[in-house]
C-alpha cells in the first residue's frame, strides 16, 4: 500500500489526525480556536469583469502555529456558476507572481472560464497575504528602489554590481526594520494554508484548480500537502520545483528562456507586414537581435529623454521592456514602437506604464517577501560577480540580471526549513500545460516539475511562445484539452505535443 493510500484510509478513520500530518501544523480544535467563520459575500464587480463577482474577507492566523493568536485578512472572491444544474464543484484560480491578485485574476478570466466550462464550477480566487485587498506589509522603501528596473537587479552597463549590492542591503535592512510579523508570514507555505482555510470556509471537501506561473508552484505544494482535497488540477506554465532551486532558480532560468523566445519577436519584427505600421525593425529576422543589442548599448552610454519627466530610457529599461514584451505576442507592437522611438533623434519615447513609475511600497514588499521568505539565498558577493560576468557573456539579452544579487541574500528573517519537495505520492489528477518558448518559466524547468510528479501528471506541450497558455497564449488544441479535463475528467493517456492543426489528443480515463 502506498503512503498516499494509507493516508486515504486514515482519513476515513480520523480526519483531524490526518490533517495535522498533512499540513505540518496542528489544526484548531472545534469551536474554540479560530476555525473559519462563514463568509459574508458582497457584490464587487471589477472594471471590465463579470457583473456577478462577489467578494468577502477571510480571517486567517498570522502564524498557524498559534491559531488563536493575531489574525490577518485574506481577500477572497467568487463567481457562482450560471448553470446550477450543471455545477460539479469549485475551481480555484491561483495567480502568478509572487504578488499576483486572485481577485483580479477572477475578474479578468472568470467569464471566459465560466463559458469554457459551461457552468461546471463556482469560480473562486484569493489575494495572497501581502497582496491587493488582503492585509499587506510595508518595507518603507524609497521610490527609487521600487521601479521594476531596480527591483530587478540589472547590473551597471559595464557589468559592475556594486550598486546592486548596496541596494540589496538597503532594501533587506528596511524590510527587517519595518515589515513586522505580517511580512515574515508571507510565503508559499502560508498561501497554501490560507487556500485550505478558504476551502473549509466554502464548505468544500475538494477543490479543482487552475494555477499559472508561480501559481503552479503554489498548486503543486498544495497537491503535495493536501492531496485528498484536490479534484482536477491544472498547472499552466510551471517552473522547476527542486527545493534547492525554487525562487532563485526560477529567476536564473530566465536568461536561457529569453534566448528561446526572442526568435518569435525577431520573426514578427522583420515581417514585411510590419511596414504598414512603421514597426519593421529589420529586413531579416537574424538582424533584429544585433540591432536591439546595439541600441541597448547606445542607451547604456547615453540615456534618452522620455515623455515621462525625470525618467529617461536607459539600456536596462529597454532590456526590461523586452522581458515584459516576450510574455505575449500582443506586446510585440508596443516594444517595436519603443525601439523605433529610441532610434529617432527627434522622438521622446513613451515608456510602458509599468516601467515609468515606481510600484507601490506594499506591492514591492509583497513580491520580495515570498521570494526571500521561501528559501535561503547565497550571500557571497564575489560569487555573484562571477555569475553575472559569465551570464552576461552567454546571454546578452538579459545582461546578467537573472543571476545577480538581490535583497534575499541579506534577508534577516530567512527560513529555517526547506521548501516542500514535490513527489509522485498522490492521486493522478494533474494536467500540465506548457509552451515550448516561455520567457519566464522555460520548458526545461517545466520538465523538472513533470518528472517530480511522475505518474500523477500528464504534460501537454504546445509549439508556441509566451507565458501562460490556457485561454491566453496557447493553442486551440491546448485549450480544448484543458477544457475537456475540467469538464469531463479525461486527460491524455500519455504526455502529448499539441498543435492547432492537430485534433485534440486522445483522452483516456484518469
pLDDT tens for 130-176 read 999 999 999 999 999 999 999 999 999 999 999 999 999 999 999 99
Angstrom CA distances, 378 to 30, 245, 264, 375, 408, stand at: 43, 11, 34, 10, 8
19 HSE (CA, 13 A, CB side) = 13
Q: Which residues contact 188 (CB under 8 A, 6 or more apart)?
A: 98, 217, 218, 221, 370, 374, 419, 420
Report d(CA 405, CA 101) in Å as an integer: 26
Report d(CA 75, CA 127) in Å as an integer: 5
Locus of grid cell 506604464: 353
Instruction: Say which DSSP state 404 is in.
Output: S
Confidence of residue 474 (pLDDT cuts 50, 70, 90): confident
Report d(CA 85, CA 108) in Å as an integer: 25
Average pLDDT over residues 186-205: 97
Residue 393 has what pLDDT? 97
**Tens digits of residue pLDDT in 76-119:** 999 999 999 999 999 999 999 999 999 999 999 999 999 999 99
Buried b (16+ CB within 10 A) or exposed e, 35-60: ebeebeeeebebeebbeebbbbebeb
Classify residue 3 by burial, with Cβ atoms within 10 Å: 0-12, 13-18, 19+.
exposed
Confidence of residue 32 (pLDDT cuts 50, 70, 90): very low
Classify residue 12 by burial, with Cβ atoms within 10 Å: 0-12, 13-18, 19+.
exposed
Confidence of residue 36 (pLDDT cuts 50, 70, 90): confident
Q: What are phi and psi of 488, to 5 degrees?
A: -120, -20
Residue 500 has what pLDDT? 65
3-state DSSP percent of the chain in helix, strand and coil, to 5: 45, 15, 40
> Using a CB cutoff of 8 Å and minimum separation of 24, what contacts does 36-42 make?
36/197, 36/198, 36/200, 36/201, 37/201, 38/201, 39/76, 39/201, 39/202, 41/78
Residue 6 has what pLDDT? 38
Q: How many CB atoms lie within 10 A of CB 314?
A: 20
Percent of the chain with pLDDT over 70: 91
Domains of the chain: 3-131+189-244+428-508 (3.40.50.1820)
Say yes or no to pLDDT of 34 above 80: no
Residue 415 has what pLDDT? 76
Query: Between 14 and 217, whose confidence is greater?
Result: 217
Q: Which residues contact 273 (CB under 8 A, 6 or more apart)?
A: none
**Tens digits of residue pLDDT in 352-381:** 999 999 999 999 999 999 999 999 999 999
Amino acid at each position: 500500500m502506498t503512503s498516499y493510500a494509507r493516508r486515504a484510509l486514515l482519513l476515513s478513520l480520523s480526519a483531524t489526525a490526518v490533517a495535522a500530518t498533512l499540513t505540518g501544523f496542528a489544526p484548531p480544535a472545534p469551536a474554540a480556536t479560530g476555525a473559519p467563520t462563514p463568509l459574508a459575500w458582497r457584490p464587487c464587480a471589477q472594471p471590465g469583469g463579470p457583473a456577478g463577482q462577489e467578494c468577502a474577507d477571510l480571517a486567517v492566523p498570522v502564524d498557524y502555529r498559534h491559531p488563536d493568536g493575531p489574525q490577518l485578512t485574506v481577500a477572497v472572491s467568487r463567481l457562482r456558476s450560471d448553470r446550477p444544474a450543471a455545477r460539479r464543484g469549485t475551481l480555484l484560480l491561483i495567480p502568478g507572481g509572487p504578488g499576483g491578485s486572485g481577485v483580479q485574476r477572477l475578474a479578468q478570466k472568470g467569464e471566459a472560464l465560466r463559458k469554457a466550462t459551461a457552468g461546471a464550477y463556482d469560480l473562486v480566487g484569493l489575494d495572497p497575504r501581502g497582496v491587493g485587498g488582503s492585509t499587506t506589509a510595508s518595507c518603507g522603501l524609497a521610490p527609487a528602489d521600487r521601479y521594476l528596473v531596480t527591483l530587478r537587479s540589472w547590473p551597471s552597463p559595464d557589468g559592475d554590481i556594486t550598486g546592486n549590492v548596496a541596494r540589496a542591503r538597503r532594501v533587506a535592512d528596511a524590510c527587517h526594520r519595518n515589515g513586522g510579523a505580517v511580512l515574515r508570514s508571507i510565503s508559499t507555505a502560508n498561501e497554501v494554508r490560507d487556500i485550505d482555510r478558504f476551502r473549509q470556509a466554502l464548505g468544500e471537501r475538494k477543490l479543482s484548480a487552475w494555477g499559472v506561473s508561480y501559481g503552479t508552484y503554489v498548486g503543486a505544494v498544495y497537491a503535495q500537502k493536501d492531496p485528498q482535497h484536490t479534484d482536477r488540477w491544472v498547472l499552466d506554465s510551471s517552473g522547476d520545483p527542486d527545493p534547492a532551486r525554487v525562487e532563485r532558480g526560477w529567476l536564473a532560468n530566465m536568461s536561457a528562456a529569453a534566448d528561446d523566445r526572442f526568435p518569435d519577436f525577431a520573426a514578427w519584427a522583420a515581417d514585411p507586414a510590419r511596414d504598414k505600421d512603421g514597426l519593421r525593425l529589420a529586413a531579416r529576422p537574424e538582424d533584429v537581435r544585433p540591432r536591439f543589442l546595439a541600441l541597448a548599448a547606445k542607451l547604456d552610454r547615453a540615456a534618452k529623454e522620455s515623455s515621462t519627466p525625470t525618467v529617461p530610457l536607459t539600456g536596462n529599461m529597454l532590456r526590461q521592456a523586452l522581458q515584459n514584451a516576450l510574455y505575449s505576442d500582443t506586446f510585440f507592437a508596443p516594444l517595436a514602437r519603443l525601439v523605433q522611438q529610441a532610434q529617432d533623434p527627434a522622438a521622446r519615447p513613451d515608456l510602458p506604464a509599468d516601467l515609468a513609475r515606481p510600484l507601490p511600497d506594499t506591492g514591492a514588499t509583497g513580491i520580495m517577501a515570498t521570494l526571500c521568505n521561501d528559501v535561503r539565498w547565497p550571500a557571497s558577493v564575489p560569487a555573484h560577480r562571477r555569475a553575472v560576468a559569465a551570464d552576461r557573456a552567454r546571454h546578452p539579452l538579459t545582461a546578467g540580471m537573472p543571476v545577480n544579487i538581490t535583497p534575499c541574500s541579506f534577508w534577516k528573517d530567512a527560513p529555517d526549513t526547506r521548501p516542500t519537495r514535490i513527489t509522485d505520492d498522490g492521486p493522478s489528477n494533474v494536467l500540465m500545460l506548457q509552451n515550448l518558448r516561455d520567457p519566464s518559466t522555460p520548458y526545461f524547468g517545466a520538465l523538472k516539475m513533470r518528472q517530480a510528479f511522475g505518474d500523477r501528471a500528464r504534460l501537454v506541450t504546445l509549439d508556441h511562445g509566451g507565458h501562460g497558455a490556457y485561454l491566453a497564449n496557447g493553442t486551440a488544441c491546448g485549450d480544448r484539452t484543458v477544457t475537456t479535463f475540467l469538464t469531463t475528467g479525461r486527460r491524455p493517456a500519455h504526455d502529448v505535443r499539441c498543435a492547432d492543426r492537430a485534433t485534440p489528443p486522445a483522452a483516456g480515463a484518469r
